[in-house]
Amino acid sequence: MVLFRCCLVVFFAQLVAGYFFDFSRWWGWIPLGLAVVLPIVLNRRPASPGTPPAVEVDPPVTGRWSALNSPADKVPSHGTRVYGQAYAIDITAEPEGRARPGFGWWPVVRRNRDFPAFGAPLLAVADATVVRAVDRNRDHLSRNSFPALLYLLVEGMFREMGGPGQVVGNHVVIDLGEGTYAMYAHLQRGSLAVREGDRVRAGQLLARCGNSGNSTEPHVHFQLMDNPDLDVAHGVPFSWRGVGVPGNGEVFSVDEPAMP
């Protein structure tokens, strides 16, 4: 993925330089071609030998939610294995009495507070240690329309050049032990309730759902992986206690944890 980002940077650098210097722009198609081929090769690679069975953890949210891009329907769930996403899942809030704005032509963008997931608390799925906690990225307007989706595709290329941190936006990674890490992505800016090095208990507040990074609307991106470094991580299957792995479009509910 580092080579992939370098290829994109070289392509755009040559594209810009071609307007100021006299040289053949055909050379720029070489790094662009590599940038296209590399993800295909990475996505076709088999899963790492000895892939463990699903790791059972608590759900990262409470309330009523629906699943998108679920590994229950296909693997890799997001169409790619890079950044440890092979078994990742997206979920968005679907509370009773409040409809989530649909995808369409208009309005082109919406404010984040129009979506019920925005600001929802995200909880530790197990006793763990925080190894990464970032919340400096802004929460942008939604991209849940056809015109905005086209913009997102172009925006995504530039985010890729910035590295995985620009793709996942604000995020938390916690070490569950035994070589398994959980990541929560697209967090709300300024919502972190923990810092790197903190020891957390299952059910403890980590942050809140936002719309940072490469995201169409406020939602939770959750995944387990075998390394906290997204450039080298492989995905690990998960199962949520009492829920399992919800399929695409499946609505599920999680009760509030009982107070001690």
Q: What share of the chain is helix, strand, coil (3-state, %, to 5)?
A: 25, 25, 50
CA angle 189, 191, 197 (to 5 degrees): 110
- Given a cut of 90, whether residue 126 has pLDDT beyond it is yes
Which residue's entry shows tokens 């693997």? 75
CA dihedral 244, 90, 192, 231 (to 10 degrees): 100
Q: What percent of the chain has pLDDT over 70?
A: 75
Please tell me the predicted confidence (pLDDT) of residue 137: 93
* Its pTM surpasses 0.85: no
Which residues touch 34 (CB under 8 Å, ≥6 apart)? 3, 4, 7
Distances (CA, A) of 202 to 133, 150, 175, 247: 17, 39, 12, 24
Q: For residue range 77-87, what is the model confidence (pLDDT) as tens digits? A: 998 888 999 99
Q: What percent of the chain has pLDDT over 90?
A: 57
Residue 150: which pLDDT band, with cuts at 50, 70 and 90? confident
Please tell me the predicted confidence (pLDDT) of residue 130: 98
Residue 61 is given by DSSP the state -
Q: Higher confidence at residue 17 or residue 75?
A: 75
- Given a cut of 70, whether residue 22 has pLDDT beyond it is no
- Given a cut of 90, whether residue 125 has pLDDT beyond it is yes
Please tell me the predicted confidence (pLDDT) of residue 8: 59
Please tell me the predicted confidence (pLDDT) of residue 80: 85
Q: What is the CA radius of gyration of the chain?
A: 19
Residue 202: which pLDDT band, with cuts at 50, 70 and 90? very high
Which residues touch 124 (CB under 8 Å, ≥6 apart)? 58, 60, 174, 200, 201, 202, 203, 204, 206
Please tell me the predicted confidence (pLDDT) of residue 142: 83
Task: Count the neighbouring beta carbons within 10 Å of the beta carbon of residue 6.
Answer: 14
Domains plus CATH for the chain? 2-44 (no CATH), 55-254 (2.70.70.10)
Q: Higher confidence at residue 38 or residue 135?
A: 135
Q: Higher confidence at residue 260 or residue 164?
A: 164
Residue 38: which pLDDT band, with cuts at 50, 70 and 90? low
Alpha carbons 80 and 85: distance in angstroms, whole number:
7
For 65, counting Cβ atoms within 10 Å of its Cβ (0-12 exposed, 13-18 middle, 19+ buried), the class is: buried
- Given a cut of 90, whether residue 140 has pLDDT beyond it is no
Mean pLDDT, residues 245-253 taken together: 96
Alpha carbons 84 and 88: distance in angstroms, whole number:
8
Mean pLDDT, residues 34-45 taken together: 59
Using DSSP's 3-state secondary structure scheme, residue 144 falls into coil
